[in-house]
Structures are given as C-alpha cells and as structure tokens.
Structure 1
Amino acid sequence: MTRIITLGGGCFWCTEAVFIAINGITDVKPGYMGGERENPSYEQVCSGATGHAEVIQITYDDEVLSLEELLYVFFYTHNPTTLNRQGADVGTQYRSVIFYEDAQQAEIAHQVIAKINEEEVYTDKIVTEVSLASVFYVAEDYHHQYFIRNRNQPYCMAVIEPKLVKLLKSFKDKIKPELL
C-alpha cells in the first residue's frame, strides 16, 4: 500500500538525494512543514522566522519498504542527536523531525527511536521531534533533484556525496537496483 511520511533531517537537498535512491520509494518532494506562515519561500524559511523545517515528503510502498526500514535509513544518514543543527547548518529550519500521518506512524517512530537509543548507536540521545503532519508546502522548482542537477557544486561534493557513500555502504540492500 502506498503511504506518505514527511521527514526533516537538515538541508532537504541532502535528504532528498538519499531517499531518491531507496527501493520502495516512489516519490520524494522537498518542501516546508511545521511553521506558521502560509506559502513560505525558501528565503523566509532560511531566515528561521517562519518556524518551518526543511523537509522531504516521501511516498513509499510499504509492501516493499516498511516504515521501520525507512526510519533506520533516516536515522543513520543524518545526526539525530543535535538540536536544530546538521553540520554547519544551524537553526530550527534544520531540525531533525518526523511528521507522522497517523497514530501508527507515530508509534513506530517512537519505537525506532527507543531501539536506537537502547542500542547506543549514538553517544548522545536522539532529539528528533515527532509531530503530527501539518500543511506541506512544496519547495520551489530549483530545489527538486538538486543533487542530481548540481553534482559538481562544492556543497554537493562536500556534504551530500559522503552521505550517499555512507548510504551505499550501510544500506546496499535497500538501494534501487538500477542505481547499483
């Protein structure tokens, strides 16, 4: 069955590049969620004044990829232990967040967080926010498939490329076959 979940793990250029590669994911849209302003622009969100997080809205087939598997990829491809920060990106717009669609997704998110904390995968505890999904605002067109279109840009080479290497190393069995 096709499901939707919205995740924020820092810059949406990074998270989009990761999840586009995962088998069972049929669509990934960068955008904004969790703020107060209607139809925010990238510049407004980046200012930190709107309260929105940069997110990706993921459509996935849960018969191919379970939510648990999807969330493990999420937690292992960003740092969920830093509040409002991913690397050099600082501010509430870069917070680690799971916007769930229903109670079952919320329960699974909390279970995965508890398990990763219990396994002590990270030195610090996970600070990922788990919140009910609100209005999703699709990002401007130039943000879509940013990594694919801007591979040689310094940010892509320095920040996104290492995430994709880590993804391939840790989740090779989850990568779309055509990308291997």
Structure 2
Amino acid sequence: MNNENLQLATFGGGCFWCTEAVFQEVKGVEKIVSGYSGGTVPGHPTYREICSGLTGHAEVVQVTFDSSVISYQDILIIFMTTHDPTTLNKQGADRGTQYRSVIYYHDTAQKEIAEVVLKEVAPYYENAIVTEITALDVFYKAEEEHQDYYRNNETQGYCSFVITPKLVKLRELHADKLK
C-alpha cells in the first residue's frame, strides 16, 4: 500500500455501528472511525447529546481507503446499497436527524462523483433519494465504546437483528469487493 493512494470518505447512513460493520468487510478499507459531523452546536459533542437530536450532528463513519484497491465511486455504491437512502431522517426504527443519509465530501472531485453515483442508483429505488451531499466541515470521533461496535457486541440484540441482515445484503450484492 502506498500512502499517496490513501483517501478519506465520510458519510452517514443511519446508525454508525451499521455503516462501520459494512465497511470492515470491504477490500481496500484500511481504517474506519465512527463519529459525528454536520452539527451546529460548538465543541465536541457526546453520544448522549447526539441522540437528543438537538445538536444537528449526524452519526457518521470516516473511512480511510486505498484508492488503488477500491475507488471512491465503489465505496459510495456500497454505501448507497446497504442502507435506505430514500427515508428522511430515519433508518429502520432509528429516527431523528442524527440518522440522516448524508455524504460529506472532502473535495470537489468527491462531490462530483457523489452526484453521479446518486443519479446512477436512483432508478433502483421506488422512492426518491434524500441523501444529502455536503462539504465536510468538522469530524468528531465518537467515544471509544462506539468504535468497532459490531465486532465487540455481535450477539447483542441490535447487532443480531439490524446489523447482521445488512452484512448479508452486502455479501450478496458486493461479494467481489469483500476481503
């Protein structure tokens, strides 16, 4: 791996535990950090504050990937097909702006690729895609107990009933992109 091939992608697709678990299985992904972005309240938010829905932050993951192994476009296609990008401020039973579908781009090229990917996947959904595309301002790392959550809590109810089915879908749709 060459460090000049490392890129960052930041996005939220509901609960960050789900999104993190999906990308832990993808070839070329070097690191995933769960965190928060997009809020209006100053300072480093806490999980409890985020869950209130009052800070404006979304639960997100920041993915470091090797672009010589997997492209940003492929990262986004995996993201868009492993959560529901058509529900506003909601994923499954999780409701609130902190669970919105959002792509935070790091540069103009990422913004342009995100716009293209959303247009490409739109015909596969019955309802309109509501995923936001916005510039990344600040990323705050979530507390340690939220890092590597699925691997550390695989038998917990939420993991079994919500995350495991997303991983099954990932394996069905993107087997050629997995580790």
| Correspondence for 1:95 among 59, 80, 100 | 100
Deviating runs (4+, > 6 A) in structure 1? none
Aligned to 2:142: 139
Aligned length: 174
TM-score, normalised on structure 2?
A: 0.96
The percent identity for this pair of structures is 51
TM-score, normalised on structure 1?
A: 0.95
Aligned to 2:128: 125
Aligned runs of 1:153-164 on 2, under 5 Å? Answer: 153-164=156-167
Gaps of 5+ in 2: none
Residue deviations 1:51-75 (CA, integer Å, cap 9, x gap): 0000000101111100111111001
Give the distance between the partners of 1:71 and 1:108, measured in 2 at CA. Answer: 9
Gaps of 5+ in 1: none
Give the distance between the partners of 1:42 and 1:36, measured in 2 at CA. Answer: 15
Q: CA RMSD in A?
A: 0.6
Aligned to 1:109: 114
Aligned runs of 1:18-33 on 2, under 5 Å? Answer: 18-33=22-37
| Correspondence for 1:171 among 159, 162, 174 | 174
- AA aligned to 1:53 is A
Give the distance between the partners of 1:8 and 1:93, measured in 2 at CA. Answer: 9
1:49 aligns to what SS in structure 2? coil
Give the distance between the partners of 2:137 and 2:70, measured in 1 at CA. Answer: 24
For residue 134 of structure 1, report the CA deviation from its aligned partner: 1.1
Give the distance between the partners of 1:123 and 1:48, measured in 2 at CA. Answer: 28
